[in-house]
Amino acid sequence: MLITKYSRIFYIIILSFFSFYINYYYGHLGVYPLDTFLFYDSSVRILDGEIPFKDFWVSTGITIDLIQFSLFKIFGVSFKTYVVHASLMNLLLTLSTFFILRKLKLGNFFSFFYSFILSVAAYPLSGTPFLDHHAIIFCIFAIYIFILSILDTKKYSWVFLPFFLLFAFFSKQTPSGYTIILLGLLTIVFFLHHFNLRSLLSLLTSSLLCLVFVFGLLLINEISLIEIYNQFISYPSFVGEIRMKADGFLTPIEFSRYVLKFKFVHLSYIFLLFYLIKFVLFKENLFLKKDFYILVSLIAFSIVLIFHQLLSLNQKFIELIVPILLGFSHIYLEKSKDFLKKKFIYIKNFILLFSLIFLIDIFFNYIDNRRFMDLKKVNLENTVDAINIDKSLKGLKWVTYMYPNNPNKEIDLINETISELKKENKNFFLLTHYSFIHSLVGAKSFNSSRVHDDVSIPLKNDKNFEDYKKKFRGLFAEKKINKIFIISPVNYKSIDGIFPQNCLREKKINKILTSYEIKGNCKKF
């Protein structure tokens, strides 16, 4: 018993250090400007007193902004602090998985084994705070709380469920919204067959507290509900509707797109599906069996993630669920040991071998080559320390897909651009994927949104464009701005339709920097 206790402590220490460090290392390796710095500037702006929704357009990710703002407040603004955020999330997911597997009676070593693989497959894919990763991780935390709650109804675990779902939803609406519906339905069915007044009151009270918390923040910061609806509900729904109807997302329905592409996910829950069908679905008192809720939540969540990935334009990121599914498969394999008899050892060996194959595949094909950053074919030996831009970026090994063979050229252009912007005496708007530049050029730099791409802000002729246009113009007037700077690859499309084109005086400053000045006779647009 004492040996088991010490081995558990040893595994926890190893997992803690490794899960944090592996993400910290890869978070500093390579750059995809739009994704790498997605929450960098917005968090700094909150630190400087700006309020999301109210002072800049936010279509998703506010949970991440607020967490990063807090870390910048405590540890200072730097890229290292930024990567610490993602590294801590990787650590928390890894340890929580170890504890949930141990709670379900899986041995110390195997709980460590699957948690270790998860620490590689989870956040190191991006390395820096990313909305899909945060949303999925908070959803997983919610599923863990759900499992703990149904296993022991005497505890107050239900209290935490609404909060994790809230954090997930405000990280990204999907897959969080689907997960809320899934766990909501399972919770209703569970309480209909396992009624416990104390647990139900805990759940309802915490749900009410979540609403009070949200509306309290809106009231304190004077954020209107219509702003929340336009930015966080209406516009993202419009983007989702377009993708559901367009080819290349949910359609065409092909075996290669729905099955082969997600082979690791499908194979990792196959034994859970077998157990659900063989030992649960065709037994009496189905809804009284707690295994039913655990298995359905895990399998259904896997399908939800596949659906979510198909609607996303990002590199494949949902396979972080694979080690979790394999860990639970091992648990239910042990439960069916007597039934399987001699087959048990073969299935167990298959799960372990499959886990190792998955680890090798995701590490070499996605993590180590920085595929998520579009750096798969880039020689990572060409990286340059970003301290050459600013000391706050020290340690970031800079190379991008745009200048794969000459990162120094890109850094020189960035430095030249920063120098040009510092010469400006008046307030200006800066639209760029290199969002860290805002904090380097001073308080005269403003922005109308966190980022400027095809899905983060409404473009001309999109739904909610008039709402965005009104906010853009309102901030433009409030800050007494007369000039807009755009850094490539952001282009004129981001401001098309906001002002009459004949009111803008365009000037190409360098290879990546262009300015658009409002002409004198167009001040009152």
The whole-number pLDDT of residue 1 equals 56
Closest by Cα among 434, 328, 433, 400 to 106: 328
What is the pLDDT averaged over residues 59-78? 96
Q: For the chain, what is the mean pLDDT?
A: 93
Over residues 366-390, the pLDDT tens digits come to 999 999 999 999 999 999 999 999 9
> Going by C-beta distance under 8 Å and a sequence separation of 6 or more, which residues neighbour residue 523?
none
Q: How confident is the model at residue 457 (pLDDT cuts 50, 70, 90)?
A: very high
For residue range 238-297, list pLDDT tens digits in order.
Answer: 998 888 888 878 888 888 889 999 999 999 999 999 999 998 888 878 899 999 999 999
| pLDDT value at 155 more than 80 | no
Mean pLDDT of 460-484: 92
End-to-end CA distance of the chain: 76
Phi, psi of 504 (to 5 degrees): -110, 135
Q: Average the pLDDT over 134-150 and give the result.
A: 97
Position with higher pLDDT, 239 vs 501: 239
State pLDDT tens for residues 190-226.
999 999 888 999 999 999 999 999 999 999 999 999 9
The Cα 452–Cα 374 span in angstroms is 19
Does 5 have pLDDT greater than 90?
no
Q: Is the pTM of this model over 0.85?
A: yes
Distance between CA atoms of residues 204 and 215, nearest Å: 17
**The pLDDT value given to residue 256:** 87
Closest of 422, 373, 430, 426 to residue 396, by C-alpha: 373
Rounded Cα distance between 432 and 229, Å, is 26
Of all residues in the chain, the percent with pLDDT exceeding 90 is: 84
Q: Please report the pLDDT score of residue 442 as a whole number.
A: 84
Q: Report helix, strand or coil for 514.
A: strand
Query: Could you give the percent of the chain with pLDDT greater than 70?
Result: 98
pLDDT of residue 346: 95
392-425 pLDDT, tens digit each: 999 999 999 999 999 999 999 999 999 999 999 9
- Phi/psi for 251 (5° steps) reads -120, 155
Rounded to an integer, the average pLDDT of 103-117 is 96
| Whether residue 2 has pLDDT greater than 70 | no
Q: Is the pLDDT of residue 523 over 60?
A: no
Mention every residue, 6+ apart, whose C-beta is less than 8 A from residue 260: none
